[in-house]
Structure 1
Amino acid sequence: MSDLVEWLDEYCGSGFVWYVKRLSGNDTLANESHQAGPYVPRDVLFDFFPTLNRPTVKNPDVWFDLYVDSHPDHQQVRAVWYNNKLHGNPKSGRNETRLTNFGGQASALLDPESTGALTIFAFNRPEPPKIPDCHVWVCRHETEEDLVEDRIGPVEPGKWALWPSVQGGLLGLLQPPPVRASCWLADDEIPTAWRAKFPTGADIIRRAVELRADACLDPDKRLMRRRDCEFEIFRSVEQAIELPFIQAGFATVDDFIARAQTVLQRRKARSGRSLELHTRAIFIEERLVEGMHFAHQPESEPGKRPDFLFPSVAAYRDMSFPADRLRMLAVKTTCKDRWRQILNEADRIPAKHLLTLQEGVSESQFREMTHAGVQLVVPAGIVDTFPKDVRPHLQTLESFIGDVRLLPL
């Protein structure tokens, strides 16, 4: 751990900007995609490499030095803008930027086992026309991920974060807000009570349900749309509350650190329970009655609390109730290392269902999960990020709900 701490300290200065994400199956070689190589949004990569922004050139590129310090490796890699869409292929052509030329799965960035790993790309800021280089840390286990998120806040699958130096604003809060979508609350839309006391996760999710009722959508699409909506609501309230403190300044460094820690802890708390609370709301909308068809956060055995039990705690504790009519569902935004935590939950139920938003796992890790009795439940929209041989064995949220409905009480 001391290596990571030293690395974070070395590359967090004003001369560096971090691009942070969790590697997806399309980034690594997990799903055997021809697109293998980390995705970086165009605007972000254009900022690091301005000469890449040449729309009149087909697939312009820039070569630069990249050092994977977590797994000592140095490569000359290619930042490329695949812009076929602008050059005679408007319907099926690509229009995205990626980093490529890592030499196959010998690189930690392409290793299928790195799928889901929290990864920091620390780009330096040299004087033009010098080309930046990049130092990378691919988190090797959950403890390293926790250490990183303690500094920058949670980074969820399918999302990414830029982390500028402190001078750029407290944890990025001074960055301009996104172009308002319907879920970003204007100042006059934020309840007075929320300004006095930051709303709970349940409060924000209730508002997200109001703004994204989406009754016509299946549970999988509903879940993903509401998660995005909830995050916008959270960030709009966070900015309204925290921005005045930031603009007023801080009398001491300790005051600044205390405020920053409050923001980080609130973000981590929100991330930790968000998916679970959204799932509960969808169960209820799908006419599953809490206490009759499912139990939320029950105690299955002393000291053990699975996220959801089906059909009820009473049925679970009734030894005459057939075990094959019981189900449990664990909910974890990422599952790369955390899936093992659910194995000792609900002892009567050998098959553990796990709902995750992680965009892919390696085939070997999937085999390990299957051998341990874990059944992955994945929203339909991200199934394609998993290896082709894994996809048929995944269950969608809609399918899981359908199975639960068929269980006799």
Structure 2
Amino acid sequence: MRIDGAAEAQRVFLQQHQLEDLSPYEMPNPGNAIMKISRDIEYSLYKRAERRYRAAEVIRIITSGGTDIVSSVVRGFPDLDATFLSVSQHRKSRAGRSFEQHISRLLRDGRIAFEEQAVTGGRRPDFVLPSLVVMKAKNRTFEEAMVLSAKTTLRERWKQVTMEKFNCALFLATVDDRVSSAAIDDMNNQGIHLVVPESLKKSKETCYNGKTNVITFREFFDEEISSKRPSYRRT
């Protein structure tokens, strides 16, 4: 099954907000925009398409076992179980890919130089800014390059980022609202800055507020890009 609603979700958001593109410099809260597009709009589009596809698949499995529904379900249970497992796995992988696509769109529409999935040192970070050439330059400073990783949910997976030591600033973008205070402190000790939606940073339900290594998408684009690294911006 191929259900790719990232581009369609972006189109719906732009239409709803009467925007021409997803430049983070044309929106007050780019992080909230990404969360809205991925969690609400795209998920709704995906569920609608998934329902049509999976319903037909379940009906095929059940009806292939004969006219007795109970017996058909029993006989078809292994196939049904595999179908529902596939649904769960596909949802998780789709969410991760889509989140990267939405961040890529923000960078592109914001005219920010970057490379996606660039292989360096045997690793493949989600985004290298401004380029792999700059990243690999032996005479560059620590601040001249950065790695931006994207993970919808963190759990223990944030530790993958610490393995990717590139002698540059490390940023981890997420929409996860369940990251513990201890995990955030551990990331700080590893030199990782979290980039989160504006509403999550302010929320009393998260542990982000008051953490020095947690910034919003707004702060990321204004301070880390425009102020500290203006050369990343294409004219």
TM-score class, shorter-chain normalisation, is 0.7 to 0.9
CA–CA distance in structure 2, aligned partners of residues 244 and 396 of structure 1:
42
TM-superposed CA distance for 1:393, in Å, is 4.3
CA–CA distance in structure 2, aligned partners of residues 221 and 328 of structure 1:
22
Larger Rg: 1
* Counterpart contact for 2:148–2:172, Cα < 8 Å: yes
| Alignment correspondent of 1:338 | 157
Gaps in structure 1 of 5+ consecutive residues: 1-196
CA–CA distance in structure 2, aligned partners of residues 381 and 272 of structure 1:
20
User: Aligned partner of 1:223: which letter?
Assistant: I
TM-superposed CA distance for 1:306, in Å, is 0.9
User: Aligned partner of 1:344: which letter?
Assistant: M
| Alignment correspondent of 1:153 | none
* Counterpart contact for 2:35–2:175, Cα < 8 Å: no
Between Structure 1 and Structure 2, the one with more helix by share is 2
Partner of residue 144 from structure 2, selected from 314, 325, 350: 325
| Alignment correspondent of 1:272 | 96
TM-superposed CA distance for 1:392, in Å, is 5.3
CA–CA distance in structure 1, aligned partners of residues 155 and 57 of structure 2:
37
CA–CA distance in structure 2, aligned partners of residues 318 and 220 of structure 1:
31
| Alignment correspondent of 1:240 | 52
Distance 1:198 1:362, change over 3 A: closer
Partner of residue 221 from structure 1, selected from 32, 39, 42: 32
Q: Deviation per CA, 1:256-295: give whole Å up to 9, x if none.
A: 233233323322221232211111111112222xxxx111
Partner of residue 405 from structure 1, selected from 226, 230, 233: 226
* Counterpart contact for 1:357–1:378, Cα < 8 Å: yes
CA–CA distance in structure 1, aligned partners of residues 83 and 177 of structure 2:
32
Distance 1:247 1:260, change over 3 A: same
CA–CA distance in structure 2, aligned partners of residues 249 and 212 of structure 1:
37
Identity of aligned residues (%): 24
Root mean square deviation, CA, Å: 2.2
Matched, 1:231 2:50: no
Matched, 1:312 2:131: yes
Equivalent residues in 2 for 1:165-314 (5 A)?
Answer: 198-200=2-4, 204-213=5-14, 214=17, 215=19, 217=27, 218-227=29-38, 228-250=40-62, 251=65, 252-288=76-112, 293-302=113-122, 304-314=123-133
User: Aligned partner of 2:155: which letter?
Assistant: K
- Three-state SS of the structure 2 residue aligned to 1:337 is coil
* Counterpart contact for 2:175–2:196, Cα < 8 Å: yes
CA–CA distance in structure 1, aligned partners of residues 174 and 219 of structure 2:
14
Q: Deviation per CA, 1:350-392: give whole Å up to 9, x if none.
A: x321111121533333222111111111110111233476345
Distance 1:392 1:367, change over 3 A: closer
CA–CA distance in structure 1, aligned partners of residues 207 and 83 of structure 2:
42
CA–CA distance in structure 2, aligned partners of residues 388 and 242 of structure 1:
38
User: Aligned partner of 2:37: which letter?
Assistant: R
CA–CA distance in structure 2, aligned partners of residues 239 and 340 of structure 1:
35
Matched, 1:363 2:175: no
What is the total number of aligned residue pairs between the two structures?
Answer: 204
Between Structure 1 and Structure 2, the one with more strand by share is 1
- Three-state SS of the structure 2 residue aligned to 1:276 is helix
Distance 1:265 1:335, change over 3 A: closer
- Three-state SS of the structure 1 residue aligned to 2:147 is strand
* Counterpart contact for 1:378–1:394, Cα < 8 Å: yes
| Alignment correspondent of 2:69 | none
